[in-house]
Structure 1
């Protein structure tokens, strides 16, 4: 079976990455290949078309494949809350409190995650056109690269003024002195924290035709979350196997910060935030409910 992630060198989807690399899915009887498939909007189409069996990505991804949500379901939360950071060059005169005054900046953001930033700025009262704010993909992020780390490099080189990305890219930028965190969506609170979250998902076809494998995948993810909570050194083990050297030594610290969010249950509050965000952002016109987006067959496992 194939499990795709849109960013490999990242803490965003790490429980899924760890479940494969540490053999937890294998222990559940699954032969799973981990694939990098960027951007997540394309990965959602691949899931719809049956080219992959599971996707570890942003929870609103299915709407890029079908604005009616289609035959895809969320199986588990990889961690809670919207999980991206807005990082700006150190000299940019903006703070979380003055975000509404953001103007004349180039922000790098990946397709899919970019919608979370657009909605956040809209709520803050930023009119992108009037303010001269552009949000676009970062040059050089196509292919087998980490979006966040590449964004940090682009910020350092002056190709962009800010980026919206995962904790790994944020950590690299801050440690190198080329970036400053303005927004930590997961921890800042407010409605934006509930716009989306990282989730494991599958097509309805996989859920119906392979219920045992679907349940096994959820159990493997949950084991990864438990084991990482118990021993963050496991993150370094995974990082050294898959990441470049610098990022491999950073990942355990990032995972430790996120441990409280490693909860597999997809709550009704999370789905209400997700579907409200999707409607407000124009991804769908439907009033999707909990049963429309969350697989019923695996809920008892959480």
Structure 2
């Protein structure tokens, strides 16, 4: 039995990995996988290194936290293209969408697990100095579901804006508390922001070496899941109603429909170049890596 974990269970980007298990696409490839429904951003990549899980769906740069210079891990494929973080801002703050410099003096809440790195980098590239913006860690949450973090930050006057996945923003918009300020996937932010990162499936070199047929099957399962969700986003309701709180379950098909054109498995030259630049700039690497050092290139044909 193999095990899968994702960084944030209700992310519309990571949901591809979840759906590949829950909708039976791994099983169709003859691979039995258990989905572990926890907040994987906390220690999922460390569990991958320890061999406690076998697949990790999360930020493409996640491996660098436990596998220095990517030694010992590889990206099998993309779950979705481009950076996928959003910034929601309190509705009564009168600044134009996408204006990063206008965030000076604003308090922004975010998870410190992975997203903070991208947020700080984006603010710096836009020309804001350290201290121009107050970044505060999302309020503590005893649940595995962090979708209400944005709502809580604004309702409790803990922050004026928040940085997180699409579900976090959608719920705050629906509650009438926030509006979209930045959508990195669609080009908001400084030049190159959309290529800081992408959602990817990471595995250990150990799995690739011991079970290459399982790694290849995983890519096929992800690809099949992407195609299925593109055709019919409502398929997610087959497991979302049992897995998520009602509000999240109802919104997920809509968010998948919005993002489905980005559900592509390939990792292109531009994506890897952007990832290298981002990782170098943030001390996650000490040199730019070649494709075969980051990607399980032997499975690239399976992306097509």
Alignment gaps of 5+ in structure 1: none
Which whole-Å CA distance do the structure 1 matches of 2:181 and 2:205 have between them? 39
Does the CA-based 8 Å contact 2:67-2:73 persist in structure 1? Answer: no
Partner of 2:122: 120
Q: CA deviation at 1:126?
A: 1.0
Q: CA deviation at 1:128?
A: 2.8
What's the CA shift string for 1:151-204, capped at 9, x where partnerless? 323322222221111111110001111111110000026300000000011000
Partner of 2:273: 272
Partner of 1:171: 170
Q: CA deviation at 1:97?
A: 4.8
**Residue 294 (structure 1) aligned with residue 295 (structure 2):** yes
Which whole-Å CA distance do the structure 1 matches of 2:59 and 2:3 have between them? 17
Which whole-Å CA distance do the structure 1 matches of 2:296 and 2:31 have between them? 20
SS of the counterpart of 2:21?
helix
SS of the counterpart of 1:258?
helix
Does the CA-based 8 Å contact 1:77-1:198 persist in structure 2? Answer: yes
- Runs of 4+ residues deviating >3 angstroms: 36-39
Alignment gaps of 5+ in structure 2: none
Which whole-Å CA distance do the structure 2 matches of 1:81 and 1:35 have between them? 25
Deviates more, 1:65-74 or 1:266-275: 65-74
Which whole-Å CA distance do the structure 2 matches of 1:196 and 1:41 have between them? 18
1:95-114 equivalences in 2 (<5 Å): 95-110=96-111, 111-114=113-116
SS of the counterpart of 1:68?
helix
Which whole-Å CA distance do the structure 2 matches of 1:222 and 1:299 have between them? 12
TM-score (norm 1): 0.94
Does the CA-based 8 Å contact 2:136-2:159 persist in structure 1? Answer: no
Partner of 1:40: 41
The 3 A distance-change label for structure 1 pair 59 and 138 is: same
The 3 A distance-change label for structure 1 pair 268 and 97 is: closer
Partner of 1:202: 203
TM-score (norm 2): 0.93
The 3 A distance-change label for structure 1 pair 243 and 97 is: closer
Partner of 2:134: 134
Alignment size in residue pairs: 299
Does the CA-based 8 Å contact 2:76-2:299 persist in structure 1? Answer: yes
Deviates more, 1:232-241 or 1:77-86: 232-241
Which whole-Å CA distance do the structure 2 matches of 1:199 and 1:215 have between them? 15
RMSD: 1.6
Q: CA deviation at 1:215?
A: 1.1
The 3 A distance-change label for structure 1 pair 293 and 183 is: same
Partner of 2:10: 9
